[in-house]
A and B are shown apart, each in its own frame.
Chain A
Amino acid sequence: MPFEELVRVAAGSDPVAAAVLLVPLLAPMLVAVAAVVVGWRPAVAWSTVAASVAILGSGVVAAVATSDGSELTVGGMLRVDALSAVMLLVIGVVAVVATWSGVGYIDHEIAAEHTDARGAQRYGLLVPLFLTAMVLAVEASNLGVLWAAVEATTIVTAFLVGHRGGRAAVEATWKYVIICSVGIALAYLGTVLVYYASQHTGTGEAGSLDWTVLVAQADQLDPGVMRIAVPLLVLGFGTKVGLVPMHSWLPDAHSQAPAPVSALMSGVLLSVAVYALLRYRVIAVAALDGEFVRNLLLVVGLASVALAASLLLAQRDYKRLLAYSSIEHMGLVIIGVAIGTPLAVAALLLHILGHGLAKAVLFCASGQILASEGTTRIADVRGLLARRPVLAGSFALGLAALLGLPPFSLFVSELALARAAADAGVFWAVAVALVLLLVVFVAIAGHAAGMLFGAAPSGLATAAPTSTRAAAAPLVTGLIALAILGVVAWPLDVLLHAASIIAGTS
Chain B
Amino acid sequence: MTEAVFVQLLDLICGGVLLTAVLSLWRRELAAIVRLLVAQGILLALLAALLGAREHSTELYVAAAGVLVLKAIVLPAVLRRVLRDSGEAREAEPLVNVTTSLLAAALLTLLAYGISRPLVLLAPSATTRALPVGLAVVLLGFFVLVTRRRALSQVIGFLLLDNGITTTAFLATAGVPLVVELGVSLDVLLVVLVLQVLAARMRLTFGRTDLDELRELRD
Contacts and interface: CB of A to CB of B under 8 A. Distances in A.
Given A182-B142, A182-B145, A192-B165, 18 more contacts: A142-B179, A144-B176, A144-B180, A145-B179, A148-B187, A166-B205, A170-B202, A173-B198, A175-B217, A177-B191, A178-B145, A189-B168, A192-B172, A192-B173, A200-B122, A225-B118, A225-B119, A227-B118
Interface string A190-217: 0111011101100000010100000000
How many residues of A sit at the interface, in one of the four size bands? 35 or more
Contacts of A173: 198
B214 interface: yes
A505 B126 CA distance: 38
A369 interface: no
A434 B109 CA distance: 43
B176 A192 contact: yes
Contacts of B101: none
Interface of B: 115-119, 121-123, 138, 142, 145, 151, 154, 158, 161-162, 165, 168-169, 172-173, 176-177, 179-180, 183-184, 186-187, 190-191, 194-195, 197-198, 201-202, 205-206, 211, 213-217, 219
A195 B118 CA distance: 15
B217 A252 contact: yes
Contacts of A155: 187, 190-191, 194
Given A167-B206, A174-B202, A181-B158, A209 B180 contact: yes
Contact of A170 (B115, B145, B162, B198): B198
Contacts of A172: 217
Contacts of B180: 142, 144-145, 147-148, 209
Nearest to A192: B169
Contact of B179 (A144, A166, A181): A144
Contacts of B177: 142, 144, 209
Contact of B219 (A144, A147, A154, A251): A251
Contacts of B172: 192-193, 195-196
Interface of A: 77, 142, 144-145, 147-148, 151-152, 154-155, 158-159, 162, 166-168, 170-175, 177-178, 181-182, 185, 188-189, 191-193, 195-197, 199-200, 207, 209, 222, 224-225, 227-228, 251-252, 255-256, 311, 314-315, 320
16 contacts: A77-B179, A144-B177, A144-B183, A151-B183, A152-B187, A155-B187, A175-B217, A177-B198, A178-B154, A178-B158, A188-B184, A191-B176, A196-B122, A209-B180, A252-B217, A255-B217
A185 B161 contact: yes
A197 B122 contact: yes
Residue with the highest number of chain B CB atoms closer than 10 Å, among A188, A199, A209, A314: A188
A225 B173 contact: no
A118 to B, nearest CB: 14
A182 B141 CA distance: 10
A314 B201 CA distance: 32
A77 B183 CA distance: 14
A135 B84 CA distance: 39
B78 to A, nearest CB: 14
A193 to B, nearest CB: 7
Nearest to A324: B219
A209 B178 CA distance: 12
A362 B198 CA distance: 29
Contact of B161 (A182, A195, A225): A182
Given A145-B180, A182-B142, A192-B172, A177 B194 contact: yes
Contacts of A166: 205
Nearest to A77: B179
B162 A185 contact: yes
A311 B218 CA distance: 11
A151 B187 CA distance: 7
A166 B179 CA distance: 38
Contacts of A200: 122-123
Contacts of A144: 176-177, 179-180, 183-184
Contacts of A77: 179
Given A170-B202, A178-B154, A185-B161, A209 B183 contact: no
A96 to B, nearest CB: 28
Given A178-B154, A209-B176, A320-B219, A162 B201 contact: yes
Nearest to B203: A170
B184 A168 contact: no
- A-B pairs, 4 with minimum CB distance: A224-B118, A148-B183, A144-B180, A196-B172
Contacts of A145: 179-180, 183
